[in-house]
Structure 1
Amino acid sequence: MPLEIIIGLPHLSDGPILQRARALQRPALISANGLSYWTNKRGRREWAGWRLAQLANAHGLSALCLDSAGFVAASRYGGFPWTIADYVALAAAFPFRWWASADYCVEAEIARDRDEVMDRLSRTIRANRDCRRLAADYGIVDTMMPVIQGRRPDDYERCIDAIADWLHPGALIGVGSMCRRDVHGPEGLIAVIDHLDRILPAGVRLHAFGVKGAALPFLLPYGRRIESIDSQAYGVSARRSAFRHGIAKTDRLVADHMESWIEAQHVRLAQRPLQLPQCLTVPPDAPPSDSWEASIAQAREEIRDLIEAGELDHDELTNPWIEHWAADIYRHRRAA
């Protein structure tokens, strides 16, 4: 099965971009943020719901998929402005080909150290489980795509282990925190895909979010594993072109760049597959030697387990609470 290119759309307004996507008959991806509307009634910008009427404009597209906008939510708003229940209700409002579980991305500008990476993996696991539970109420479990997260290749295993019962031949998983990754290196895009290819059951397929076009020839050797990628990179090239020529960045200009971008990706897919040399693995973190730091690490891990199990909410991992929890562990260690 050839790797499929999905066009990321900035919105579903019925204009040149959407019309070109219909004409190209390519599957499209819309972000939850692109369907949001906001209000300033209380003197500040607040999320106020979904623009569901825009979904009617998706007629004529070959398929439409939905993303939870995890990176935008983290970088622009400091977290999701909507609840998991709000998001699943949006997923149930249209017959999406697939809709991605809510997730907590771990790019370096979002998760600044290993502790925060691991915290956000636990939140992603919990979000997957919550989305699936709510999806069952709406009868849309079959179209939900779980999302796994990680910084290092082996980080993704924590998410995979948590959803192992959902993995069967033909299952589709979204791979997050990919769009800002280098292609090369022990934490590069290909190192992640190669690791996942080695550990996932046969027949489980991957969708890689936001993959750079330059990576496509290196992904071709994994054709049996990767089903699709998406990107909205054409918007960046349109912005650069408008600036360079001193013209407005109109939707018509963006649509032209979208079509050119799609053509360029298909040229890349027709190239000879490229393979990178075996990547070195990232050495595991050494356990803390200081007793207090070890207590902090244990407290974090225990709280993560409770979040994943549904005993605590996603955002109940705060530094004061971690320190209070760790103090109990520390006293117990000293008394033992």
Structure 2
Amino acid sequence: MSLEIIIGLPHLNEGPILTRACALQQTALISANALSHWSSRRGWREWAGWRLGQLSNARGLAGLCLDSAGFVAASRYGGFPWTIPDYVALAAAYPFRWWASADYCVEPEIARDREEVVDRLSRTIRANRDCRRLAEDFGIADTMMPVIQGRRPDDYERCVDALWASLRPGSPLGVGSMCRRDVHGPEGLIAVIDHLDRILPSCVRLHAFGVKGAALPFLLPYGRRIASIDSQAYGIDARRTAFRRGISKTDTLVADHMENWVSVQRTRLAARPLQLPQCQTQPPDRGPCDPWEAAIAQARAEIRELIEAGELDHDELIAPWIEQWAADIYRDGFAA
């Protein structure tokens, strides 16, 4: 089983990029954000639906996949500007090879501390379950790819445990928050993939979102585990080239970089796997000793359980509740 390179496309407009992607006959990935329509009719910019007409341009591609744009939504808009039903309706509008569940990324610029990371894991679990339920209504559950999130390797395991019932033999499992991750270290790319390789049954294969091509040689030892990666890194290279040469970053220039990028990745896939260092492991978390801090931790855990169970919305603002929730816990038990 070979690892597949999926080309991330910036848009589906007719032109040099799409024409070259069709000629390369590589599966492509489009972001929900790239298919968004925005309106300023009411005096401010707001999301106004999907540009579904764009999807007809994709018929010449070898295959098309859909990403929920979790990082872009968090970094640019502070959250998804569309609802989960909106997103699943988009997934149902085209025969995507697979479409990724909505998820809540945990890169350091998005989740700035450990508590926020764990909060976003619960939101990811709930979003996966909501996508699955709606996918069954639309009849597209077979093409939905669950997505797991994490900062540390055991974070991903928590998502796997919660979503175990939705993992299907032979179907890919998306691994998020990978594109800005170092290759090595206890929270590095290798550590995450190695941990998942050890805990998952052999029939579950992974799609690693946004993995840079330079990391490919380190992933080759996991060729039976990793089904695919995607990247749009060629666009960054095209921007640098345009800046260095003092020229415009045209779609033709981007298409040239895309074709060269695909060629380089194919060469990397044919190379010998690199010798991997022994993966470092993170020590387990120790709960707080202070009774009030322990009450805060328990309050957070209980609220997360409600989010995962669907008792609270996955976008619910929970910060104002935590201290009052913890006060009840402290009064009922910790102060005794």
* TM-score where L is the length of structure 2: 0.98
Report the alpha carbon displacement of residue 275 of structure 1 after superposing the two structures with TM: 2.7
User: Is contact 1:123–1:307 with CA below 8 Å preserved after alignment?
Assistant: yes
User: Is contact 2:146–2:167 with CA below 8 Å preserved after alignment?
Assistant: no
Secondary structure of the corresponding residue to residue 295 of structure 1: helix
Range with greater deviation from structure 2 (162-171 or 78-87): 162-171
Task: Describe the superposition over 1:43-85 as per-residue Cα deviations: whole angstroms up to 9, x where unpaired.
Answer: 2110000000000000110000000000000000000000000
The 1:32–1:164 alpha-carbon spacing in structure 2 relative to 1, beyond 3 Å, is same
State the AA in 1 paired with 2:242: A
The count of residues paired between Structure 1 and Structure 2 equals 336
Distance in 1 between the 2:322 and 2:37 partners?
Answer: 36
Q: Which runs of 5+ in 2 are unaligned?
A: none
Distance in 2 between the 1:319 and 1:292 partners?
Answer: 16
Task: Describe the superposition over 1:201-235 as per-residue Cα deviations: whole angstroms up to 9, x where unpaired.
Answer: 12101000000111101111111110000000000
State the AA in 2 paired with 1:301: A
Distance in 2 between the 1:101 and 1:315 partners?
Answer: 15
Report the alpha carbon displacement of residue 101 of structure 1 after superposing the two structures with TM: 0.1
Distance in 2 between the 1:316 and 1:242 partners?
Answer: 43
Identity of aligned residues (%): 80
Q: Which runs of 5+ in 1 are unaligned?
A: none
User: What residue in structure 2 maps to residue 287 of structure 1?
Assistant: 287
Distance in 2 between the 1:257 and 1:125 partners?
Answer: 37
Alignment of 1:180-219 (within 5 A): 180-219=180-219
State the AA in 2 paired with 1:32: A
State the AA in 1 paired with 2:258: M
User: Is contact 1:29–1:67 with CA below 8 Å preserved after alignment?
Assistant: yes
* TM-score where L is the length of structure 1: 0.98
User: What residue in structure 1 maps to residue 259 of structure 2?
Assistant: 259
State the AA in 1 paired with 2:301: E
RMSD: 0.9
Alignment of 1:127-206 (within 5 A): 127-206=127-206
Distance in 1 between the 2:314 and 2:204 partners?
Answer: 27
Distance in 2 between the 1:101 and 1:248 partners?
Answer: 36
State the AA in 2 paired with 1:242: A
Distance in 2 between the 1:318 and 1:166 partners?
Answer: 27
Distance in 1 between the 2:20 and 2:95 partners?
Answer: 21
Distance in 1 between the 2:315 and 2:8 partners?
Answer: 29
State the AA in 2 paired with 1:211: V
User: Is contact 1:92–1:140 with CA below 8 Å preserved after alignment?
Assistant: yes
User: What residue in structure 1 maps to residue 311 of structure 2?
Assistant: 311
Distance in 1 between the 2:16 and 2:50 partners?
Answer: 22
Distance in 1 between the 2:34 and 2:98 partners?
Answer: 17
**Is 1:80 equivalent to 2:80 in the alignment?**
yes
User: Is contact 1:184–1:276 with CA below 8 Å preserved after alignment?
Assistant: no
Alignment of 1:214-225 (within 5 A): 214-225=214-225
User: What residue in structure 2 maps to residue 327 of structure 1?
Assistant: 327
Report the alpha carbon displacement of residue 333 of structure 1 after superposing the two structures with TM: 2.1
User: What residue in structure 1 maps to residue 15 of structure 2?
Assistant: 15
Range with greater deviation from structure 2 (159-168 or 185-194): 159-168
**Is 1:39 equivalent to 2:39 in the alignment?**
yes
Distance in 2 between the 1:334 and 1:9 partners?
Answer: 53
Range with greater deviation from structure 2 (311-320 or 145-154): 311-320
User: What residue in structure 2 maps to residue 273 of structure 1?
Assistant: 273
Report the alpha carbon displacement of residue 334 of structure 1 after superposing the two structures with TM: 4.7
User: Is contact 2:291–2:335 with CA below 8 Å preserved after alignment?
Assistant: no
Distance in 2 between the 1:317 and 1:286 partners?
Answer: 26
Secondary structure of the corresponding residue to residue 59 of structure 1: helix
User: Is contact 1:39–1:46 with CA below 8 Å preserved after alignment?
Assistant: yes
Report the alpha carbon displacement of residue 270 of structure 1 after superposing the two structures with TM: 1.0
Alignment of 1:45-84 (within 5 A): 45-84=45-84
